[in-house]
Amino acid sequence: MKIFLDTAEIEEIKTAARWGVLDGVTTNPSLYAKVGGSYDAILADICKITSGPVSAEVIADDVEGMLEQGRHFAKIAPNIVVKVAMSENGLEAISRFANEGIKTNCTLIFSTNQGLLAAKAGASIVSPFVGRLDDINQDGMIIIRELAEIFSLYNIETEVLAASIRNPLHMTQAAMAGSHIATLPFKILQQMVHHPLTDKGIAQFKADWAAAHEAAAGKS
């Protein structure tokens, strides 16, 4: 499963890239608002750090507006993927982007049928929001599993991206459900790295190493 960071924070993206675990990045207007500045400049900086897909979200409601914004983002770097929210106009924009060879990520997917339609329209990626479904007492992971199965059954090339990941368990569950990609906040990536027994074990090894050296120095 590919791992994307769900952030517009450049330092977080640089860190994950240095760890060798970064396959791409997703941004959205809310994540951009946390950082501020020029969205174009942020996207350009992110695309210099990773050659993987970088999602840039359009905010227009009408098809022509979506196309204009998406074409603009697509010129920033070859790895930009235009993020389009699920809607009737969104489907039309996705279909037209596909005809132009511009990759899209259909976002705000909350049902298997929405994901199926987005794939039919030509989306490269569909993004079911697992955490937001869990928030309303629905098992978001079911959508991930169903879409992964359907795409495999019908040889659909669209990738399933588990979005709105809220904890490390979601990552394991998304991988087990056959998600092609999961995007997560940097904090959850850090949580995946750490385990109390690992940290305790490292401290113990260091203490034993120091004690052994002290003992050896005492003998010589």
Residues that bind ligand E4P in the complex, under the rule CB under 6 A: 6, 26, 28, 107, 127, 129, 131-132, 163-164, 183
- Give the shortest CB-64-to-ligand E4P separation in angstroms: 24
Distance between CA 72 and CA 61 in Å, rounded? 16
- Comparing CA positions, the residue from 122, 105, 201, 121 lying closest to residue 160 is 105
- The smaller minimum CB distance to ligand E4P, of residues 28 and 179, is found at 28
Catalytic residue positions, numbered:
83
- Comparing CA positions, the residue from 149, 139, 138 lying closest to residue 179 is 149
- Give the shortest CB-200-to-ligand E4P separation in angstroms: 31
Owner of token pair 């993927």: 81
- The smaller minimum CB distance to ligand E4P, of residues 6 and 23, is found at 6
**Cβ atoms within 10 Å, residue 178:** 16
Distance between CA 214 and CA 208 in Å, rounded? 10
- Give the shortest CB-132-to-ligand E4P separation in angstroms: 5
- The smaller minimum CB distance to ligand E4P, of residues 96 and 170, is found at 170
- The smaller minimum CB distance to ligand E4P, of residues 131 and 168, is found at 131
- The smaller minimum CB distance to ligand E4P, of residues 14 and 166, is found at 166
- Give the shortest CB-83-to-ligand E4P separation in angstroms: 7
CB-based contact 102:71 (threshold 8 Å) = yes
- Comparing CA positions, the residue from 93, 97, 179, 184 lying closest to residue 142 is 179
Contacts of 17 (CB under 8 A, 6+ apart): 49, 50
Handedness of CA 83, 86, 92, 94 (dihedral sign): positive
CB-based contact 55:25 (threshold 8 Å) = yes
Owner of token pair 């960071």: 5
Distance between CA 24 and CA 79 in Å, rounded? 9
- Give the shortest CB-105-to-ligand E4P separation in angstroms: 7
